[in-house]
Amino acid sequence: MNLMESAAKQTVELFQRLFSAQEVPADAYSRMKWPKILPLMRFTVDRYAAKDYGHLMVMQTKAMGGLMRLVTVSFTPSAGGTVPYLLIDCMAMRQKRTVFVEYYDCTAGGATVPSLDALKNAYADVPEYEEKPAWYVGERMGCSLIKGVSDGSETRLVSMVRDSVEAYLSLCAAAPKDPNNLSKLRAFQNRMITEGNPSSSTMERVLGKAGAEAFFRTAVMPIGGGTD
């Protein structure tokens, strides 16, 4: 299984295995393209809701006639669990492979994540990816993994994504819930909209500014009850 397939398929399988997750019915966000005629980008968006955790979104993007592929995975602990928000981006373009496993501590009292720290050390051999500065870079937890290779090799990256999702979901299953976590999670959601997130410019092009905000609040990072 390659990096893109692993990030999309295995993530959903792991989530559904651990939580009683229900797939969100298809809507206008499920299949998108831009522009409408002779599309340069196509998006497939699958969403899941689990009462004991919150929401999972998996968005698969194909661009440049399939030469560039991107999988974005957003884990939103909107049931109030004391765990970080997790955003994963995997990109494949020719021989280039990049993976961003980003953890953001939006909990009221701070999340303890020794298993995620251990994974950081386990994948220290995978080359770091030098990214452009952005406000959210400084907000990431130290256990985040920002990696990239340029020789087309995927084996370590596939394992890194799978191990990261497994470790994160294990934390989620055991984490206590605190309703006070939601206020910080909403504050971060608002910052991702007002200050910009990795997909802001793309989604504003596809949906317009107001549409991109609605998409982020509804599909990417929904916050509320675990099944809304």
Tens-place pLDDT, residues 106-136? 999 999 999 999 999 999 999 999 999 999 9
- Whether 195 maps to a domain, the answer reads yes
Report the candidate in 89, 44, 88, 40 with the shortest Cα–Cα distance to residue 66. Answer: 40
Q: What is the pLDDT of residues 8-55, one digit of tens each?
A: 999 999 999 999 899 999 999 999 999 989 999 999 999 999 999 999
What span, in angstroms and rounded, lies between the C-alpha atoms of 197 and 49? 22
- Whether 65 maps to a domain, the answer reads yes
- Whether 22 maps to a domain, the answer reads yes
What span, in angstroms and rounded, lies between the C-alpha atoms of 160 and 189? 26
- Whether 191 maps to a domain, the answer reads yes
Q: By three-state DSSP, how is residue 140 classified?
A: coil
**What is the number of domains present in the chain?**
1
Q: Mean of the pLDDT values across residues 150-174?
A: 95
pLDDT value of position 225: 40
pLDDT value of position 224: 61
Please report how many Cα atoms fall inside a 13 Å half-sphere around the Cα of residue 191, on the Cβ side. Answer: 13
Q: Which domain holds residue 140?
A: 3-220
- Whether 84 maps to a domain, the answer reads yes
Let me know: does 60 contact 71? Beta carbons within 8 Å.
Answer: yes
Q: Is the dihedral of CA 163, 226, 78, 189 positive or negative?
A: positive
pLDDT at 228 over 80: no
Let me know: does 67 contact 42? Beta carbons within 8 Å.
Answer: no
> What do you get for the CA distance between the two ends of the chain, in Å?
32
- Whether 226 maps to a domain, the answer reads no
pLDDT value of position 25: 96
Structure tokens belonging to residue 133:
């500065």
- Whether 124 maps to a domain, the answer reads yes
What span, in angstroms and rounded, lies between the C-alpha atoms of 149 and 212? 30
Q: What is the pLDDT of residues 47-81, one digit of tens each?
A: 999 999 999 999 999 998 888 999 999 999 999 99
- Whether 225 maps to a domain, the answer reads no
User: What CATH number does residue 195 fall under?
Assistant: 3.40.1500.20
- Tell me how long the chain is: 228
Which letter, b or e, does each residue of 182-196 get, where b requires 16 or more Cβ atoms within 10 Å of its Cβ? bebbbebbeebbeee
Q: How does DSSP assign 178-228, residue by residue?
A: -TTHHHHHHHHHHHHHHT--TTHHHHHHHHHHHHHHHHIIIIIS--SSTT-
- DSSP code, position 222: -
Chain position carrying tokens 């087309």: 152
Q: Is the dihedral of CA 191, 199, 12, 27 positive or negative?
A: positive
